[in-house]
């Protein structure tokens, strides 16, 4: 399979290594320094684009690929206010757009556990939920996309919560899921959900030991999405 890498930072490099180890060919490795190379690529020779760039570049990168009819697997966070426009464009161009805030299989199981626990705690009014996420200092956005997905899962599964807020924001109320973001090297990613009461605490957590789980998941999705159409997610890939 011929893969275009849109974004070639730490994640892009690991994705490239894993893809090549699985017998795939990297057509190009695009970053801010060689973005002009996109003009010389032949879209018909690209099976899929894997996009892990920066929040301020993601929308343009993904739009370019979808306008060329290239399926896109994206994992960049911090740009999701424009995601509906990308979804509409993918449907218009009859190609595939796959987005996940986290491609780790373990994290996606954790998403399900989080929703289940949130539903169990719906009638336990003595407990207050909070969320903590820890990432390396090079991560640009806060909170992480994974933290936002977890907060949204709580809101969907527990009617006591209606929104999420980042710690330190004004106008936080009892119906908000409060997220604390920490940037500590070399942490690749830790997410902790806490339900606290005067009597006890309930806590679930996921800790990544490296970026390899995220990268492998993205490559597996790229292999799966090749001949598909539409707007897809990890629920589709994992058949949750």
Active site residues: 135, 139
- CA–CA separation, 15 and 135 (whole Å): 19
Instruction: Mention every residue, 6+ apart, whose C-beta is less than 8 A from residue 161.
Output: 129, 154, 155, 175, 176, 177
- CA–CA separation, 102 and 13 (whole Å): 17
Q: Which of 219, 230, 217 is nearest to 106 (CA)?
A: 217
Residue written as token pair 């373990």:
106
- Residue 160: what are its φ and ψ, rounded to 5°? -75, -15
What are the start-end ranges of the H helices in 93-195?
Answer: 105-120, 145-157
């Amino acid at each position: 399979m011929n893969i275009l890498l849109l974004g070639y930072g730490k994640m892009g490099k690991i994705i490239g290594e894993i893809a090549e180890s699985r017998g795939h060919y990297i057509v190009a490795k695009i970053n801010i320094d060689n973005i002009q190379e996109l003009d010389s690529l032949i879209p018909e020779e690209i099976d899929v684009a894997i996009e892990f760039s920066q929040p301020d570049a993601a929308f343009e990168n993904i739009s370019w690929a979808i306008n060329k009819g290239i399926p896109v697997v994206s994992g960049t966070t911090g740009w999701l206010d424009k995601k509906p426009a990308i979804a509409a464009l993918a449907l218009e161009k009859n190609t595939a757009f796959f987005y996940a805030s986290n491609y780790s299989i373990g994290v996606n199981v954790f998403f399900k556990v989080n929703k289940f626990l949130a539903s169990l705690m719906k009638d336990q009014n003595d407990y207050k939920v909070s969320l903590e996420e820890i990432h390396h200092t090079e991560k640009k956005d806060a909170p992480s996309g994974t933290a936002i997905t977890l907060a949204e899962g709580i809101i969907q599964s527990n009617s006591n919560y209606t929104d999420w807020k980042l710690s330190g924001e004004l106008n936080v109320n009892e119906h908000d899921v409060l997220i604390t973001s920490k940037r500590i090297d070399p942490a690749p990613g830790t997410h902790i959900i806490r339900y606290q009461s005067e009597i006890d605490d309930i806590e679930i957590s996921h800790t990544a030991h490296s970026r390899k789980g995220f990268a492998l998941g993205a490559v597996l999705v790229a292999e799966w999405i090749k001949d598909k159409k539409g707007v897809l997610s990890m629920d589709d890939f994992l058949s949750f």
